[in-house]
Amino acid sequence: MLSILIPTYNYNVEELVAELYAQANASNIDFEIIIGDDFSDQNIYDRSNLKNSKLVKIYRNNCSIGRTAMRELLSTKALYNWILYIDSDMIPSQNKYIQNYINAILKNKDIKAFFGGYSYSNQHPDKDRLRFRYGVSRESKSADNREIKPYRNIYSGNMLISRESFKLTNTSLENRYGLDLAFSSELESKNIPFKHLDNYTNHMGIDDNYSFLLKSKEASRTIRYLYDQNLISSKQSKLVWAYKLIEKLHLTKVVELKGRLFSPIISWVLINFKAPLIILDFYKLYHFCKK
């Protein structure tokens, strides 16, 4: 019934695999767990005794291909029609996580994809970091809240989808940070019915401020690329919406000029201080405008 697919890179998935294995086993369903290692520096997940189980398989890639391509590869190895993708730095926030998804499938016969959402533990040791505060403010939303603008709240790191629907919507793009928006656009264009659920995974892998800022810059440039290629719209991205607004007000040159002048100071503040997220918003908008 269920193929649980975990793309990973340099992250120890032992705890995650053990939790998913226990929950799936308790649900009395046919399942498998497949770990896709994207050319990690070392096989850091090998300590788990679960690797010896016939229900847990490990595929190691001989070069890095990125999360999107790894998901595609794992989908070709999956046995079952329903695929649960969960990122390696996640952990289910409740002990009925697998059962909740099974119940959702049984109750929603016409729905082809479910998104459980992200949560952030107040006990996390890095809760003062920019990535944690951004996640709490921008990503940790109830299902009802996400359903208001459903295509802007697609977080594929905790996603249950039919294999047929995944093959229709998984966009083959180069390895970039921020491709969930392209996936969201494909869901819309292919008219794939989906539903947001309150079935969260705690996001455990919190980048340091410098790393997160680099990823934010890369994501902004990716979003600009997707926008220029007509692959996404303001339905998928608030950043696109903001850009179209300042373009309408003829303020894009102002944002570019201010960003060029103050970008080094903004970066320094975001890295070294607990700065308001609106500063990060301007930083991302500037890099979007820069192309």
pLDDT of residue 202: 97
**pLDDT score recorded for residue 68:** 83
Give the global pTM.
0.94
pLDDT digits (tens, 9 = 90+) for 222-279: 999 999 999 999 999 999 999 999 999 999 999 999 999 999 999 999 999 999 999 9
pLDDT score of 173: 58
Give yes or no for residue 176 having a pLDDT over 70: no
pLDDT at 63: 83
Instruction: Using the predicted structure, report yes or no on whether residue 192 has a pLDDT greater than 80.
Output: yes
What is the structure's pLDDT at 61? 84
Residue 53's nearest CA partner among 88, 90, 100, 20 is: 20
At 237, phi and psi to the nearest 5?
-135, 125
Share above pLDDT 90 across residues of the chain, in percent, rounded to a whole number: 81
**pLDDT given at position 29:** 96
Please give the domain boundaries of the chain with CATH numbers for all domains: 2-206 (3.90.550.10), 210-289 (no CATH)
pLDDT tens track for 16-54: 999 999 999 999 999 999 999 988 876 665 555 665 677
How many CB atoms neighbour CB 96 within 10 A? Answer: 14
Average pLDDT of the residues in 173-186 = 78
User: 235, 151 in Cβ contact below 8 A?
Assistant: yes
* Three-state SS letters, the chain: CEEEEEEECCCCCHHHHHHHHHHHHHCCCCEEEEEEECCCCCCCCCCCHHHHCCCEEEEECCCCCCHHHHHHHHHHHCCCCEEEEECCCEEECCCCHHHHHHHHHHHCCCCCEEECCEECCCCCCCCCCHHHHHHHHHHCCCHHHHHHCHHHCCCCCEEEEEHHHHHHHCCCCCCCCCCHHHHHHHHHHCCCCEEECCCCEEECCCCCHHHHHHHHHHHHHHHHHHHHCCCCCCCCCHHHHHHHHHHHCCCHHHHHHHHHHHHHHHHHHHHHCCCCHHHHHHHHHHHHHCC
Distance in angstroms (rounded) separating the CA atoms of residues 152 and 142: 13
pLDDT exceeds cutoff 70 at 10: yes
Tell me the per-residue pLDDT of 51-95, one tens digit each, with 9 for 90 and over: 567 788 988 888 888 888 899 899 999 999 999 999 999 999 999
Type of residue at 20? L
Q: What average pLDDT does the structure give for the chain?
A: 92
Can you give the pLDDT at residue 150?
97
Confidence class of residue 175 from pLDDT cuts 50, 70 and 90?
A: low
What pLDDT shows up at residue 65?
83
User: Tell me, what's the pLDDT at 54?
Assistant: 77
